[in-house]
Chain A
Amino acid sequence: MVDIVIIGAGVSGCAIAREVSRYKADVLVLEREEDVCCGTSKANSAIVHAGYDAANGSLMAKLNVEGSRLMPALSKELDFPYENNGSLVVMVSEDDRPALNKLYENGVANGVEGLRIVERDELVRMEPNISDQAVAALYAPTGAIVCPFGLTFALAENAARNGVRFQFDTEVTGIGKTDGGWKLSTTRGDVEAKVVVNAAGVYADKLHNMVSEDAMTITPRRGDYFLLDHSAQGHVSHTIFQLPGKFGKGVLVAPTVHGNIIVGPTAIDIEDKEGVATTQAGLDEVRAKCGLAVKDVPLRQTITSFAGLRAHEARHEFFIGEVQPGFVDCAGIESPGLSSAPAIGVMVSGIVRDILKLEENPNFEAKRKGILDPKGLDAEAHAALIRENPAYGTVICRCETVTEGEIVDAIRRVPGARSVDGVKRRVRAGMGRCQGGFCSPRVMEILARELGVDQSAITKAGAGSELIVGVNKDAI
């Protein structure tokens, strides 16, 4: 019997795992996919919301503001990309002024620092490509952007470093009460635990409903996005939202920490919890709306489009707490879930600590070093690195200049990359303008070598997504 099972290795599950690793406990994270960061955490706006949006007094508002406050220090401690670029909620009609003022007041009440309303003149100076209809905006200097993969991997690696175990390709299919806790049936055998944390994203309702009479429904809310090439960099520097109002709810246009521009999302409620297919209508909607707050968005520079699911609960609130003795929900974690993750981790680990009366782990190491990106080194250090490890001299991904050294590091991490997408999310190989056209065969080769398997066993994203189906002439 383990002390704690955390179901779900998304950003919430990993944040909880990392925080709970501060205590002496045997912790196991179960994940149905092949890697961490495979659900909602991998496909979102990559925004750290300042916290003016969530209703004052809600848990969502509290954790958002706290998470946003914790994020800068955490990014240093765990070495993941974070940038405090500030955000703007743009109003495109004077009619919407009351709504903008209301948002400002809500933000102040939530404790968001530095909020102010900027009028058109200043707005244009801040963002030369702001739309011609823009009248004013709510400026949140604490708004930021983050690499959602980087954050999640950092949390997971640090948790693993502090003793948390991760088990992938393991779906929880049933939960039953036992004398000392819970028995979980999984696709890879039974697991018993004293405490279970449900951080299962869009599936959190399913797990919740296995133990609670008080039924919950999580609706997958799909968001379609465009990601633009580096050549579009600089089109906007702040995260630019459009104030919901006269022209409906807009889409955001924001830089990413890696120098791309992200545009989206839509908000389409669907039934399929795996429904991450983009649709023509969804992409068209983003195309149509993105110009409301920002002009001339260079959608021609699109390198990929994708869709993600938010785990939406009808009350639009986070549901965190012990719903049955020893069963802790962390559900309804939709936007601003990424922003709130550090605070969610602290809150849930506190609940678990109190249930199990955990003691501090004296060996807890708070720091984690990210995968070395040689691009950040000066010429001398860079040259020394290649002398020491020539793999850093071989460029595999040409578009993002990712070397073999970085890819090997990504594979050897714990938990490490086991698929082409796992490599891509960790070091950006294949994330650039050619989208893996040149480098994916090379990445497959390196994965096969490092994992000691045949290249035909290499997958895009776990079992069933094998990239090679056979050898030449094997079926003629």
Chain B
Amino acid sequence: MREYELVIIGGGPAGLAAAVAAHEAGLRDILILERDNELGGILNQCIHNGFGLHTFKEELTGPEYAGRFIEQVKKLDIPYKLNTMVLDLAADKTVTAMNREDGLFQLHPKAVILAMGCRERPRGALSIPGCRPAGIYTAGTAQRLVNMEGYMPGRKVVILGSGDIGLIMARRMTLEGAQVQVVAELMPYSGGLKRNIVQCLDDYGIPLKLSHTVVDIEGKKRVEAVTIAQVDGNNRPIPGTEERYECDTLLLSCGLIPENELSRSAGVELNPITNGPTVNESLETSIPGVFAAGNVLHVHDLVDYVSEEAGAAGRQAAGYIAAGCREEEHKALPIKCANGVRYTVPVAIRPGAAGDTVTLRFRVGNVYKNKKVAVYAGDACVFSRKRPVLAPGEMETVILKTSLLTDHPEADGITVTLEEA
């Protein structure tokens, strides 16, 4: 097997954007490994529109958005292997993979970009009591069946979880002829976009029940009914609030988990909050030369930001290889999260290694109104912006001028916090 300087694990939006950016940065020796039978990843099944407003200034569907990047990859002649499963990533960046044509093979690249994406939280992880019949699908599995294979997984549907995929699938199932009876959401707020609540649920008269969860699933062979109940402040069902819905399908849209089994096997340090690698400002993980971007790093809500982040990872990987895979020592400022900020990506900034700006992405842990996002270098406030509303479902972005950090050489760390506006 011929070797490649850069191996990108995953040919979804992150992997594609990383490949294109690495190529544009001058790197020519790139290989994308994709486990599915086509490039594009999850976008291939996201046939709804709303993608690409930031990147292409127009509203595209998922396959169209993926198509733009696939076209670039093909035009640039960046090699890729489909139906190829990476089985192992070692700490020395040895990639062990497998497919029909090449069999079991190993690659020894100079740099690796992790772009494996994420998966859905299944019923089992939610420990929903009840029977285990046919008719329980994650929203994404149903999405694949309907949008790519043309099969209806059910006729009468209850959805648990109001993440965007769940909302989108409520509309998709309705338009394909199913009856979506209710969407139950455990939290007192939806994790989905307002637009999706209005255009996927309200447009079709589908009720959204906040602070509700599924407490029973009936049906020996196929789902026959689902009972939901209201939950208290500790997410425990409140007796007496049960409502039973006769249905043949339960769709689950209860969160996404970055797929970091390979990162773990390589010994990449993971952030327990995001379940993704901890990275510095260059999107480099704890293993030099291993970069991460997209949903494997932290779950995004907009693919445009995935592409942007992955582009940066691609450029950084190209730079790392161009510099002979050597890195200078730079002082690193760890980032502390405070006051409702759940995590940040990156977790540390090396001002000496950063370009003119550093992009900080983060999420908050609750719905906050009229707050100020503030960034401190040591004790000095270097950034502050008013935010009328912050919600866990919306990723926040702060673009920080690196000079603001170098102006405070005494600082030993950075704090990202919410303050009263």
Which residues of A line the B interface, CB within 8 A?
226-227, 231, 274, 276-280, 282-283, 302-306, 379, 382-383, 386-387, 390-391, 393-395, 398-399, 401, 433-438, 440-441, 455-456, 459-476
Contact = CB atoms under 8 A, between A and B. Distances in A.
Contacts of A282: 129
A401 B131 contact: no
A468 B145 CA distance: 9
Interface stretch (B95-103, B316-324, B406-414): B95-103
A112 to B, nearest CB: 35
A279 B132 CA distance: 12
Contacts of B248: 469
Nearest to A381: B104
B122 A434 contact: yes
A436 to B, nearest CB: 8
A393 B100 contact: yes
B221 A465 contact: yes
B119 A434 contact: yes
A398 B102 CA distance: 18
B220 A274 contact: yes
B104 A386 contact: yes
B234 interface: no
Contacts of A283: 127, 129
Interface stretch (B71-79, B151-159, B276-284, B334-342): B151-159
A305 B124 contact: yes
A269 to B, nearest CB: 18
Interface of B: 35, 83, 85, 87, 98-104, 119-120, 122-125, 127, 129-135, 138, 140-141, 144-146, 149-155, 175-178, 215-218, 220-222, 237, 248, 261, 264
A147 B1 CA distance: 38
A398 B85 contact: yes
B222 A387 contact: no
A386 B222 contact: no
22 contacts: A227-B124, A277-B218, A278-B129, A278-B130, A305-B127, A386-B98, A390-B101, A395-B35, A398-B85, A433-B125, A438-B141, A441-B144, A460-B133, A460-B134, A461-B134, A465-B133, A467-B134, A469-B153, A470-B152, A472-B150, A473-B176, A474-B152
B138 A437 contact: yes
Contact of B140 (A401, A437, A455): A437
Given A279-B129, A386-B98, 13 more contacts: A274-B220, A277-B129, A305-B124, A391-B100, A395-B87, A435-B124, A436-B122, A437-B119, A459-B134, A464-B220, A468-B153, A472-B150, A472-B177
B122 A437 contact: yes
A474 B176 CA distance: 8
Contacts of B124: 227, 302-305, 435
Contacts of B129: 277-280, 282-283, 305
A277 B99 CA distance: 40
A425 to B, nearest CB: 13
Contact of B151 (A390, A437, A468): A468
A471 B134 contact: no
A395 B85 contact: yes
A283 B127 CA distance: 8
Nearest to B105: A383
Given A464-B222, A472-B152, A401 B103 contact: no
Given A435-B123, A474-B152, A393 B130 contact: no
Contacts of A391: 100
Contacts of A387: 103
Nearest to A384: B103
Nearest to A382: B104
A475 B151 CA distance: 12
Contacts of B141: 436-438, 440-441
Contacts of A401: 85, 87
A398 B133 contact: no
Contacts of A438: 119, 141
Nearest to A460: B134
A436 B150 CA distance: 19
Contacts of A461: 134, 221
Given A390-B101, A435-B124, A465-B222, A441 B149 contact: yes
A41 B352 CA distance: 62
A439 to B, nearest CB: 10
Given A283-B129, A461-B221, A474 B134 contact: no
B180 to A, nearest CB: 13
Given A283-B127, A472-B151, A472-B152, A394 B176 contact: no
A476 B152 CA distance: 12
B296 to A, nearest CB: 13
A399 B248 CA distance: 27
Nearest to A375: B87
B99 A394 contact: yes
Contacts of B175: 476
A468 B140 CA distance: 15
Nearest to A445: B149
A394 B83 contact: yes
Contact of A379 (B104, B125, B134, B218): B104
Nearest to B147: A472
Contacts of A382: 103-104
A471 B151 contact: yes
Contact of B103 (A274, A386, A464): A386
Which residue, of A304, A398, A468, A469, has the highest number of chain B Cβ atoms within 10 A? A469
Nearest to A471: B150
Nearest to B151: A468
A465 B134 contact: yes
The 10 A-B residue pairs with the shortest CB-CB distance, nearest first, are A304-B124, A464-B221, A460-B134, A390-B100, A435-B122, A395-B85, A465-B134, A386-B103, A475-B177, A393-B100
B120 to A, nearest CB: 5
B154 A469 contact: yes
Contacts of B102: 393
Contacts of B152: 468-472, 474-475
B338 to A, nearest CB: 25
Contacts of B237: 280
Nearest to B145: A441
Contacts of A383: 103-104
Contacts of B220: 274, 464
B222 A466 contact: yes
Contact of A303 (B83, B125, B177, B264): B125
A469 B122 CA distance: 21
B112 to A, nearest CB: 18
B125 A302 contact: yes
A464 B222 CA distance: 6
A303 B153 contact: no
B221 A467 contact: no
A386 B222 CA distance: 37
Contacts of A393: 98-104
Given A274-B220, A277-B217, A226 B127 contact: yes
Contacts of B127: 226, 283, 302, 305
Nearest to B123: A435
Contacts of A476: 175-177
A472 B83 CA distance: 27
Contacts of A466: 134, 222
Contacts of B178: 475
A165 to B, nearest CB: 25
A293 B98 CA distance: 42
A467 B149 CA distance: 13
A109 B216 CA distance: 46
A386 B87 CA distance: 15
A399 B144 CA distance: 18
A470 B146 CA distance: 10
A317 to B, nearest CB: 30
A440 to B, nearest CB: 6
A469 B155 contact: yes
